[in-house]
Amino acid sequence: MSTAFVIDDLPLFPFRAGAQCRGRRAAVHGTQAGARVDNDRLCDLIEAVAIHQDRKAFSDLFRHFAPRLKAFGLRQGSDAATADELAQEAMLAVWRKAATFDRSRASATTWIFTIVRNKRIDMFRRQNRPEVTLDEAAEQVSDEAPADDQLRWADAGEVLREVLATLPKEQIVVLQKAFYEDKSHSVIAEELNLPLGTVKSRIRLGLARLRQALPEEQL
Amino acid sequence: MINHHPPLELLFDYAAGTLPEPVALAVATHASMCPACRDEISAVEALGGALLETLEPVAMSATSLDAVLARLDEPEATPVTVSAARAASGVASFLPGPLRRYLGEVLPGGWDRLPWRRVTRSLEELRLPMSVQGFKASLMRLAPGSTVPVHTHRGQEFTLVLAGGFSDETGEYLPGDFACKDQTHVHRPVVDTDEPCISLVVLDAPLKLTGMMGRLVNPFINRM
Ligand SMILES: [Zn+2]
């Protein structure tokens, strides 16, 4: 099990630099400028909610995200009313948790994904969600560099979205089931009538394809 | 240096939010101790965000925004946050964060102050309350020099070392190391450190004991 989180002996997403690769990527991905601005605007709105309890900013966030969160709810098999409720509950959590958002660690959409993911666990599974925390006890053990690496994920969203479109259908199906339908690897295997190993390798292949498709400049 | 990490599937399912609570607890606690796995989780979350953006938006009900706006000032049901629980009870910082909410009333003073329940001469257990059935999540404390009876697993067993360490045929496990065993393993861990080995152990099915010592520990292990 010591090869965990490694595919073919290579890290999944070997991004290296955080801030300094942004400029280069902007040059490489000129067409993504729109998405970049979009993320900046969404981050501004979340911060306006966090700092000023800005209801206008919240309404803008609601108009952008709630219909996507509803789609997320529908994809996992909820009826329209329940999906609507999930979106509303998630948006209420956005209002309450806005102060925990850090744009240097995650894109606005990724942060919203973690909110709706947790809300789904609350609402449908009625389970607690143990959250990763950072603290002295944990850090004592770790003699590795602190995870400033997370910085780079703040920027990865556009690239990921771009390369998602190039994945083969069967990999997308497995990834979508994993994210939208609240299915673990083993349940997906049962449903698709595939061996667990096949599901694992499709997810690994899907993630590996994403990694390969990332521009060299990020390495 | 952490040498044994959860398999990618577990990190992925944790980030996607599909793991049952006890397994999620083991993964979250490991990730709290492991920057590399935190990073993998961030990677999958970024992918989740990207997938969310690809969904075709579906119109919300006409009254939904007003309904939510009307609720913004509602007082939130007081959440028992980790920091609040810790401040209130003085839970010592030797516990990794994700475990603290399960041991809210522990006094400071280290592992000895936890309400251990003795199972055998060399084994103590502290069962953690879980919101799902079918799993068992416990802290286990094994005395130095002790062995766990030879056993195989009907389901899966996840072990995260918190203090001390053990060895088995797959290697040496020290604080932060994560072991993942299933029915294909027959193993016999040995606590080969000078201090007790304290681990978080999550089982998703009762163990099947294969050794002579089995009968001794069986009642405790089968208590799911
Ligand atoms: Zn790890």
* Averaged pLDDT score across all residues of chain B: 80
Task: Classify residue B72: in a domain, yes or no.
Answer: no
Task: Classify residue B27: in a domain, yes or no.
Answer: yes
**Confidence check: pLDDT of A21 > 50:** no
- Number of domains composing chain B: 3
**pTM, rounded to two decimals:** 0.79
Question: What span, in angstroms and rounded, lies between the C-alpha atoms of A52 and A185?
Answer: 42
Closest Cβ opposite residue A5 in set B11, B132, B179: B11
Pair B211, B165 in one domain: yes
Q: Name the amino acid, one letter, at B80.
A: V
Closest to B60 in 3D by CA, of A95, A31, A157, A66: A66
Answer whether A150 sits within 8 Å of B38, measured CB to CB. Answer: yes
pLDDT value for B89? 46
Using CA atoms, how far residue B42 sits from A61, A111, B8, B26, B131, in Å, is 23, 10, 13, 17, 25
Most confident of the ranges A16-20, A112-116, A153-157, B72-76: A112-116
What CATH code is assigned to A156-219? 1.10.10.10
Q: Which residues pair with B179 in a beta bridge?
A: B159
Closest Cβ opposite residue B40 in set A12, A179, A200: A12
Residue with tokens 């590399």: B36
**Two structure tokens written together for B209:** 């004991």
pLDDT value for A154? 63
Domain boundaries, chain A: 1-26+33-128, 156-219
pLDDT class for B143, splitting at 50, 70, 90? Answer: very high
Question: What span, in angstroms and rounded, lies between the C-alpha atoms of B154 and A193?
Answer: 22
The alpha-carbon gap from B214 to the nearest alpha carbon of chain A, in Å, equals 26
Pair B15, B89 in one domain: no
Q: What is the pLDDT of residues A135-172, one digit of tens each?
A: 655 555 555 544 444 445 666 666 777 777 777 777 77
Domain A1-26+33-128 has CATH 1.10.3720.10: no
Contact B25, B99 (CB under 8 A): yes
Task: Classify residue B2: in a domain, yes or no.
Answer: no
**Confidence check: pLDDT of A77 > 50:** yes
CB pairs under 8 A between A and B: 255
Task: Classify residue B147: in a domain, yes or no.
Answer: yes
pLDDT class for A201, splitting at 50, 70, 90? Answer: confident
Cα distance between the two ends of chain A: 26
Contact A158, A35 (CB under 8 A): yes
Task: Classify residue B70: in a domain, yes or no.
Answer: no
Pair B192, B207 in one domain: yes
ipTM above 0.85, yes or no: no
pLDDT value for B67? 96
Question: What span, in angstroms and rounded, lies between the C-alpha atoms of A15 and A149?
Answer: 8
Tell me which chain A residue has its CA closest to the CA of residue B15: A114
pLDDT class for A37, splitting at 50, 70, 90? Answer: low
Answer whether A84 sits within 8 Å of B60, measured CB to CB. Answer: yes
pLDDT value for A20? 30
pLDDT class for A196, splitting at 50, 70, 90? Answer: confident
pLDDT value for B183? 63
Write the CATH number for B196: 2.60.120.10
For the segment A97-104, the average pLDDT, to the nearest whole number, is 92
Answer whether A138 sits within 8 Å of B171, measured CB to CB. Answer: no
Q: Whole domain around residue B30: which residue ranges?
A: 8-62
**Confidence check: pLDDT of B43 > 50:** yes
Task: Classify residue B179: in a domain, yes or no.
Answer: yes
Answer whether B5 sits within 8 Å of A58, measured CB to CB. Answer: no
Pair B119, B188 in one domain: yes
Task: Classify residue B3: in a domain, yes or no.
Answer: no
**Confidence check: pLDDT of A1 > 50:** no
Closest Cβ opposite residue A179 in set B16, B96, B176: B16
Pair B214, B121 in one domain: yes
Chain A residues whose CB is inside 8 A of the B8 CB are 4-7, 12, 200, 203-204, 207
Closest Cβ opposite residue A138 in set B20, B32, B52: B32
The alpha-carbon gap from A78 to the nearest alpha carbon of chain B, in Å, equals 13
Pair B184, B155 in one domain: yes
Pair B109, B124 in one domain: no
The residue with greater pLDDT, A89 or B187, is: A89
Give the three-class secondary structure for A171.
helix
Residue A140's H or E segment, with its range, is helix A136-141
Write the CATH number for B45: 1.10.10.1320
The residue with greater pLDDT, A166 or B123, is: B123
Pair B120, B211 in one domain: yes
Question: Which phi and psi angles does A45 have, rounded to 5°?
Answer: -65, -45
Tell me which chain A residue has its CA closest to the CA of residue B92: A137
Pair B164, B186 in one domain: yes
pLDDT value for A158? 67
